[in-house]
Structure 1
């Protein structure tokens, strides 16, 4: 049976309960992380913890655990759920108060900590020669101005993703003032004239752990890469489009708004980067000896 973690204890999901006065429930006053584990090994754990700490600091929520404590909790949760390839969802809210009030509780109350696992589907990058790619549409970015915080306030993202699903696509690529920001639940890359391009970090996008690793791998393997603005026109004319996230890794987009991207199949640069990514993952998680 699967187990979750809530405020100091592991338990069955049906036994986990929070107060209806929890500020995460009332105000979406909380942050979260999603950390993948392969072969039971946490992937890029330190990078995820740095982002977690940043989100907590930006929202003035007290960090309830040290990095070592977070690691121990994550590893215990993986073991209790059978190991293998899992994602860990980790959420911290400002906690439960005696009354509903927009202002932060004074004195502060203990944060609410919830963790659970989910299965990770086999990513497209694991089989670059047989990957079929995905479809995306473009939509106006209707989200708030602090998308760099990994907030649980995801209603705009959900509405945007649902519009994509209703249109037969798997992702919505978002545009703000004529420029690409990110996907509804992903970062965006394009390839133009053999150069990999992704929007620079700002308050308009979440600094993705997979995004950063892709940039790192491009530098390491001498693949031209730039972090700069992408216009809507450049997106539409791109030779390749990818979206990245911690659980889906690097997904090739082969159709944008019902028009083929490039020749309508996963491109050669994506295949090269996908192979480097999978090799790095396997080495880090003990699935092979060498990159």
Structure 2
């Protein structure tokens, strides 16, 4: 049985409780982070902690009392749950003042809720999907305008995953004003003539921690990176494509809306970036 963390306590998962009036439950008024674990160590933890702080600031949400202890809590959960390869999920909500109201509760009297748990993911680094690549379909992006804040408002991305599944694909890329924004739970890239092309950072997409690390790896490896919008048609004509996220690292894409990319197998740029990222991530893991 997993040990989880809820508002200062380490508990068996069956004993974990949150108020029915918690604003994360009632209003999706919360933010989250997911940190990967390889070899029992945390990947890109500092980046996730900084983004969490930014998300809280953007939503005018108070930091939980345990904010400065997050690294220790992550490590303890990894230890007690014996996670070698897996994930640590963290969620902060605005908490509960004992009732439901659209108006924010007074932060002076209402403490945010902090919940954390682990997930075992054996074979995370040696994913079979990464060896064969994934297929994506396009869907309209109808999310709210602040996708740069990592909120728990994940209904439409979940629906997007299901739309992809219904179409016989593995995931979906969202499209707004004719251009790809991002995947349902990842940042999207294409490769053309050796150039890695991905949408520039803005409020339109999540500022991916893995994205930042992968692009840094690409530049250090003398790969050319172009940050600009691209269309589905461009993606279908690309030499290769891939997505990045904390839980999939660098995941090759071999098909976009039915169009096969290259020879239908993961391309050399995506494969090399995955190797470099995993190597660097393990070296810097804490």
TM-score (norm 2): 0.95
Are 1:150 and 1:206, in contact at CA under 8 Å, matched by a contact in 2? yes
Deviation digits for residues 11-38 of structure 1 (CA, Å, limit 9, x no counterpart): 1111011111111100000000001121
Q: Which residue of 2 aligns with 1:289?
A: none
1:166-245 map, 5 Å: 166-245=166-245
CA distance in 2, matches of 1:245, 1:36: 10
Are 1:124 and 1:251, in contact at CA under 8 Å, matched by a contact in 2? no
C-alpha distance 159-7 of structure 1, shift in aligned 2 (>3 A): same
Instruction: Return 87-96 or 273-282, whichever deviates more.
Output: 273-282
Q: Which runs of 4+ in 1 moved over 6 A?
A: 124-128
Q: Which residue of 1 aligns with 2:282?
A: 282
Count of residues paired in the alignment? 285
Flag structure 1 segments of 5+ consecutive residues without an equivalent: 287-291
Instruction: Return 117-126 or 245-254, whichever deviates more.
Output: 117-126
Q: Which residue of 2 aligns with 1:268?
A: 268
Q: Which residue of 1 aligns with 2:111?
A: 110
Report the alpha carbon displacement of residue 259 of structure 1 after superposing the two structures with TM: 1.8
Are 1:244 and 1:250, in contact at CA under 8 Å, matched by a contact in 2? yes
Q: Which residue of 1 aligns with 2:164?
A: 164
Q: Which residue of 1 aligns with 2:135?
A: 135
C-alpha distance 5-124 of structure 1, shift in aligned 2 (>3 A): closer
Q: Which residue of 2 aligns with 1:23?
A: 23
Are 1:124 and 1:250, in contact at CA under 8 Å, matched by a contact in 2? no
What secondary structure sits across from 2:132 in the alignment? coil
What secondary structure sits across from 1:216 in the alignment? helix
C-alpha distance 77-124 of structure 1, shift in aligned 2 (>3 A): closer
Report the alpha carbon displacement of residue 127 of structure 1 after superposing the two structures with TM: 8.0
What secondary structure sits across from 1:203 in the alignment? coil
Q: Which residue of 2 aligns with 1:246?
A: 246
Report the alpha carbon displacement of residue 56 of structure 1 after superposing the two structures with TM: 0.5
Deviation digits for residues 190-245 of structure 1 (CA, Å, limit 9, x no counterpart): 10111011101111100111111110001111011111111232122111110111
CA distance in 1, matches of 2:203, 2:180: 13
Report the alpha carbon displacement of residue 67 of structure 1 after superposing the two structures with TM: 5.6
Are 1:123 and 1:249, in contact at CA under 8 Å, matched by a contact in 2? no
C-alpha distance 123-250 of structure 1, shift in aligned 2 (>3 A): farther
CA distance in 2, matches of 1:122, 1:139: 30
- RMSD over equivalenced CA pairs, Å: 1.8
Q: Which residue of 1 aligns with 2:75?
A: 75
Report the alpha carbon displacement of residue 66 of structure 1 after superposing the two structures with TM: 6.1
TM-score (norm 1): 0.93
Flag structure 2 segments of 5+ consecutive residues without an equivalent: none
Q: Which residue of 2 aligns with 1:91?
A: 91
Are 1:200 and 1:227, in contact at CA under 8 Å, matched by a contact in 2? yes
Q: Which residue of 1 aligns with 2:55?
A: 55
